Amino acid sequence: MKASAFVYPWDVNGDPGAPGRIAALGVRQVTLASAYHSTRALTPRHPRHRIVTAEHAAVLYPVDGRWEGRTLRPYPAGDWAPGDAFGEAAAALTEAGLQVHTWVVLAHNSRMGADHPDTCVVNAYGDRYPWAPCIAQPATRAYLVDLAAEAAVRPGARGTELESLGWYGLQHLHAHDKTAGVTLGDAGHYLMALCFCPVCKEGYGAQGLDAGELAASVRDALEPLWQGAPDDGGWAGVEKLLGVRTAAATRAWRDGTARTLQEAAVRAVRDAAPDGFQVLLHADPVTHHVGANAGVDPAHILSVADGVVVPCAGGPALLTPFAEQGRADAVLAANLGVVSGMGGSPGTLAEDAARARELGATQIRLYHAGLASDGDLDAVREGLAAL
């Protein structure tokens, strides 16, 4: 199975040994961040630093002229990734014999939310989510589509993986996160993800819903959960809380909004890319799910993109709905955690990859070559050799 390792430019730049070390794992491809959200990242082998603090979402290369005069535009990185950090790292990795694909984070940007609060998802209580741009807003959609094309098609890249190309909700670690006092299940998180910005209010209206009444219904439905009632979870739980018709109408608005954005972004990447450029989405096969792995309809997304990268931290079951589409040409990449300190299992990589292959995976992704300890990387090397 083809394997690709996730990497940040700061894992490579300033460390001459990094490209060879990554290649020695047994991978032939890297997924290198070109546009990324804020993070605090460990660099356990770098000769100059051990911690990198990326203070805000940024592009890791110099932007072109398409952004002149626009209110919403990418932010340049600070000293954690100066200049053309992506290009420098990509050149070094290519020199080591590795094929480079871009890793593009899209609808996840706390800096944009802070500077332009009107772009944010607004929940039924009126709370804004600064990390979550509302993907229904025309200006935000235009920004995301252009960012996808620019950040994906970098010099030397042979493909891209688009992350967060869909709705975001409450489930996101934000600063010193203190939101776990009440346990919300799948249904509760869906209700907390529903956006009530002006554009979404109009969208609900087009589905036959009164936005004010819907917001009140959402608050009423959530009240028992705040008091400790169990969340039945799943879509059936949403229907129980909101009613079947109302739940379906909210999902029709949100699913359609995400689908058309995904179509537009992939089309923009293809228009900008050379022939043979591969376009994958980080995806979850349940359309009402939100977050970095956007909820998608498997049949639809495999008709739009070349394939998907599927989260498999809890096992490979999410691969099945994609594999059931019978698209022999589609890439189905199982995303496997290999950082033991972050819940990954590098020691069972061969077994996990074999199980994913049984459920339809054609490739694997390794999260994350830069963050892993030396012991984790030794286990990865052994696992890939066994494959």
Domain residue spans of the chain: 2-180+254-386
Q: What is the DSSP secondary structure assignment for residue 126, as one 8-state letter?
A: S
pLDDT of residue 76: 98
Closest CA relative to residue 13, chosen from 116, 75, 93 = 93
State the Cα angle at 19 between 16 and 88, rounded to 5°. 70
pLDDT digits 0-9 by tens, 252-274: 999 999 999 999 999 999 999 99
pLDDT digits 0-9 by tens, 25-83: 999 999 999 999 999 999 999 999 999 999 999 999 999 999 999 999 999 999 999 99
pLDDT of residue 55: 96
Given the candidates 3.30.1330.90, 3.20.20.80, 3.30.365.10, 3.40.50.11740, the CATH classification of the domain at 2-180+254-386 is: 3.20.20.80
Backbone angles phi, psi at 291, to 5 degrees: 125, -160
d(CA 352, CA 126): 43
* Residue linked to tokens 């039945």: 232
* Residue 252 structure tokens: 């029709």
Give the largest Cα separation in the chain, rounded: 60
pLDDT digits 0-9 by tens, 137-155: 999 999 999 999 999 999 9
Q: What is the DSSP secondary structure assignment for residue 56, as one 8-state letter?
A: S
Closest CA relative to residue 337, chosen from 305, 307, 379, 296 = 379
Backbone angles phi, psi at 138, to 5 degrees: -55, -45
Closest CA relative to residue 195, chosen from 277, 120, 300 = 120
Backbone angles phi, psi at 7, to 5 degrees: -150, 145
pLDDT digits 0-9 by tens, 228-244: 998 888 999 999 999 99
* Residue 250 structure tokens: 């909210």
pLDDT digits 0-9 by tens, 302-338: 999 999 999 999 999 999 999 999 999 999 999 999 9
For residues 233 and 186, the answer to whether their CB atoms sit within 8 Å is yes
Q: What is the 3-state secondary structure (H, E, C) of 216-266?
A: HHHHHHHHHHHCCCCCCCHHHHHHHHHCHHHHHHHHHHHHHHHHHHHHHHH
Strands 363-367 and 2-7: parallel
Which burial class, exposed, middle or buried, applies to 79 when counting CB atoms under 10 A from its CB (0-12, 13-18, 19+)? exposed
pLDDT digits 0-9 by tens, 79-124: 999 999 999 999 999 999 999 999 999 999 999 999 999 999 999 9
Strands 39-42 and 278-284: unpaired
* Residue linked to tokens 């899209």: 106
CB atoms inside a 10 Å sphere around CB 155: 11
- Confidence grade of residue 4 (pLDDT, cut at 50, 70, 90): very high
pLDDT of residue 177: 76
pLDDT at position 174 over 80: no
